[in-house]
Structure 1
């Protein structure tokens, strides 16, 4: 078995051992230390049952894909699907029927409400671990992103998070910045500013399958939480395909190993610690079937089912993530769950453990809706209020108005996608650029831009704030122009069907039809004329897609690649802001660019 080791150690352990830890620069101490998994012995010993032979009830509360959502999320990202009559959804929760009344859309999420629901569940069992399966930060709304996602970490510290298995978005800004979020210190851009006193995370990042060198992981591969007479191991990791959804420069020098092989190889080492249960915090997941409620399953196959089946039977629970969907399943003999995203759901795992045999004798899972009909946690509410006030001058600036809601979709053309692509194309209409086609990856569109109070029209346009625009497109990618042939454009469009469901690029300047999983090449029109396969076309996209992100590898074949803008860069949010301002009020475009036959 290959012994996996970490290059970083948990700061509290250093402090306990009287080992000094010094932030030597804005990016943190560059000294790399070897370390096995973390033994996170807790202060719950007084609460553990006195009789070591009695069964021990351990509770695990899980979240995933929080993405710095401090405020209650809005639009489609601020609801969860519930069954009518669900006892958890009270009359004051704001549920609205859809799909003929078979599903209720329930407003959910918000950091202060999340904290309150977690505190309520934790109060019922002192033997509780609070965990996350990745993407706590990254792709965050402005209130968190403006302060380098430090507010999101402050919130998780207040909630009492124990462990976070890294997700792909933890690497958006590179390993040095992720290390800074863990260990504290100032941000390179604000060493003299308010970020200088940032203390770091009081929880531990885990990264079992992210290597910086042979047998060395960027964070500890696992941690063990001691509940007195029983121990529970937590293995944290991201999806092996993280390089396909992350800008290459941010993960240079890292390798991402197979999830199943990584977990199974760790088990002999972990079992030597006499643990009674093993939990995997895995940033990978599936999309359940339509109509699945937040506590339903809806998954019989797919990547997460395949992983769960191949994991060693010693694994008891897999808290999954990445798809932003809620589900609660038993797959391959393991509990396999996901808590949606943005703090809309909390997963409750209850393990009954025989301490004499170090064995789980019973296990259950339940997803709980983070409704907004309870009193918000005052501490977290105070943290959110502080940063909201600091961000207000920029966040609340009105940049334009819309006559109807701009929404994104899971698969297909969306009017928000059209607007973002239009904005990219408009930004690339400058001497030396003159793009004819724009491509926007749908995964880069993170939130709807709804009308205020869900009420707007041509006679009553709704204001759009900078914060709303930023939340819809939060990555800060820059625009890139390149030359592609018609044949390469055809191949790019066909790559949309390499995954299920299809991942449709949002486009401007181009129209086409498709049948099943095949693009009708004869239907492709660019600037109103039939596309010619051996003709060259100037296109604009963002730097993530230009590097082959989201599986669109043909973009890497582009020639005459140029950063858009006279100073070398046009940031995507700046292009969107300028477009909304120039087209005030903006009427949502008709969906006629991608036609299914």
Structure 2
């Protein structure tokens, strides 16, 4: 849908008022960024279509985001109203493009710090590399679990200039928060409290070993616990930063929508009424809604949109008297660029482009897609599962499973041709998971397949991608535990024997029960392969199979 960006920008310019100093009334602007995922450079945004510059009869996606444009927008708005706070709603790092990820996401943290970010909720992807590495990202230093990447952008790495917040993340032994639960920021004459939380489902969507010492508590009750303490400190406003979200039927630019559903709506309905507004993330949606009289906003992902709250704050009575909310498009055509960010991106690209541009093989078409068919199987998922099986066949593996959430992008050959580079492959699998092999019985594999439907995160795709030769069918309407037809589970046309043992490959995330696939934790004769990274297996497969085509998506059958 085409958006009127001129009107959106005009409305926001009119909203940027000066402070009424001395009156007790303060005009405060809060700018939020969610699900940035280390996207230092601009990317295309599906929410706005524009005429194709090469063919005006066609439409293409608008290019938006990137730290240069985000920085330019913040510069412009701070010049209008210095009472501006820049904050985040989690997943600022993790699952990042190679320009950031190959440098351990340090350029992204440094960039956001230089842009004046003050606080962000934790996101599940902040925990991708475990608690120790996340604490390093917060506090600085070079004691990383990946010394090949750490401190290559800036040595020593200085740490984040902003505070990650996690009111609901506590140490299991002590019950105490591992990160600060909140931050009080002086914005002009107003005291604004930012309190953070991350989805309580985090242990099911990151490698369990990395968060084994942590408990992720109920989001609303954890935030509510601190509200009396904040009010006792005389704060004028409380903004919740949360890495959890929902979906809305309305567009990102419709104000005060009333159609928001999902976990965030349930959380907001349980919040203390003294929480004034909620900046959210996680579901990669653009919405600007009202739930139970309270603004709840999310800004898509990758910096395509910034969430904006223009608040009138009465510092005499310590309350917010009005909030005007909007999602602002970070349009690269019209937004000025921040020169310091341009220099930062240039340095990151200089350090990574040589690796990124290395050709590794050819594809049959310009792209192999990760979009799933109605059964949940994707052409790219087939290829990745096949690559992992090929890499571990010499360890006796006969079946490989791949989690769909680990496939972060389509495999797009550089420049629209058919030659794939390392950067193209890395964009698909940026996590750096290693591979593992284990023995599972036919009965355990049946149990594993049933766990695809025990989804703690409704609406997300959890159908495992499977390697060539492994097939089965399922009935989504059948009772829990009976959706997969055991007679249909076959390897090379032969039905699996429930009592027989099969050698199975998966990545390290799944091997420890990631995505709640706990059947993997019952495997025996487990062989961890610390020197075999998933993207390296993928690279070897692409190299060994010139003119590689996507899978036929005929391995998983959905009967109903």
> TM over 0.5, yes or no?
yes
Paired residue secondary structure (1:575): helix
Q: What is residue 109 of structure 1 aligned with on the other side?
A: 65
1:473-512 map, 5 Å? 473-499=429-455, 500-501=458-459, 502-509=461-468, 510-512=470-472
Paired residue secondary structure (1:357): coil
**Alpha carbons 2:85, 2:187 under 8 Å: kept:** no
Separation (CA, whole Å) in 1 of partners of 2:110 and 2:190: 30
Q: Does 1:422 align with 2:386?
A: yes
**Alpha carbons 1:580, 1:586 under 8 Å: kept:** yes
Q: Does 1:293 align with 2:251?
A: yes
Q: What is residue 203 of structure 1 aligned with on the other side?
A: 162
Paired residue secondary structure (2:344): helix
Q: What is residue 6 of structure 2 aligned with on the other side?
A: none
Distance 1:225 1:300, change over 3 A: same
1:151 aligned to which of 104, 107, 112: 107
Separation (CA, whole Å) in 2 of partners of 1:93 and 1:444: 35
**Alpha carbons 1:133, 1:321 under 8 Å: kept:** yes
Q: Does 1:283 align with 2:261?
A: no
Distance 1:266 1:92, change over 3 A: farther
Distance 1:282 1:526, change over 3 A: same
Q: What is residue 520 of structure 1 aligned with on the other side?
A: 485
Q: Mind listing any 5+ residue stretches in structure 2 that lack a counterpart?
A: 1-17, 478-482
Q: What is residue 174 of structure 1 aligned with on the other side?
A: 130
1:383-422 map, 5 Å? 383-404=344-365, 405-409=367-371, 412-422=376-386
* 1:266-294 CA-partner distances (Å, limit 9, x unpaired): 111011111121111111122445xx533
Separation (CA, whole Å) in 1 of partners of 2:51 and 2:317: 42
**Alpha carbons 1:94, 1:106 under 8 Å: kept:** no
Separation (CA, whole Å) in 2 of partners of 1:538 and 1:496: 20
Q: Does 1:307 align with 2:273?
A: no
> How far is 1:253 from its partner?
2.0
Q: Give the aligned length.
A: 523
2:232 aligned to which of 272, 275, 284: 272
The farther-off stretch of 64-73 and 437-446 is: 64-73
Q: Does 1:79 align with 2:45?
A: yes
Q: Does 1:50 align with 2:50?
A: no
1:53-452 map, 5 Å? 53=24, 55-73=25-43, 78-82=44-48, 105-188=61-144, 189=147, 195-212=154-171, 214-288=174-248, 292-296=250-254, 299-374=259-334, 375-404=336-365, 405-409=367-371, 412-430=376-394, 433-452=395-414
Paired residue secondary structure (2:532): coil
**Alpha carbons 1:187, 1:195 under 8 Å: kept:** no
* 1:520-560 CA-partner distances (Å, limit 9, x unpaired): 33332222322333332221101111111111111111122
Q: What is residue 510 of structure 2 aligned with on the other side?
A: 545
Separation (CA, whole Å) in 2 of partners of 1:322 and 1:254: 20
* 1:1-51 CA-partner distances (Å, limit 9, x unpaired): xxxxxxxxxxxxxxxxxxxxxxxxxxxxxxxxxxxxxxxxxxxxxx74322
Q: What is residue 576 of structure 1 aligned with on the other side?
A: 538
Distance 1:386 1:574, change over 3 A: same
> How far is 1:194 from its partner?
5.9
**Alpha carbons 1:114, 1:344 under 8 Å: kept:** no
**Alpha carbons 1:58, 1:350 under 8 Å: kept:** yes
Separation (CA, whole Å) in 1 of partners of 2:248 and 2:233: 36
The farther-off stretch of 218-227 and 507-516 is: 507-516
* 1:441-462 CA-partner distances (Å, limit 9, x unpaired): 11111122224444x5xxxxx1
> How far is 1:222 from its partner?
0.3
> How far is 1:515 from its partner?
2.9
* 1:71-91 CA-partner distances (Å, limit 9, x unpaired): 234xxxx42324x7xxxx798
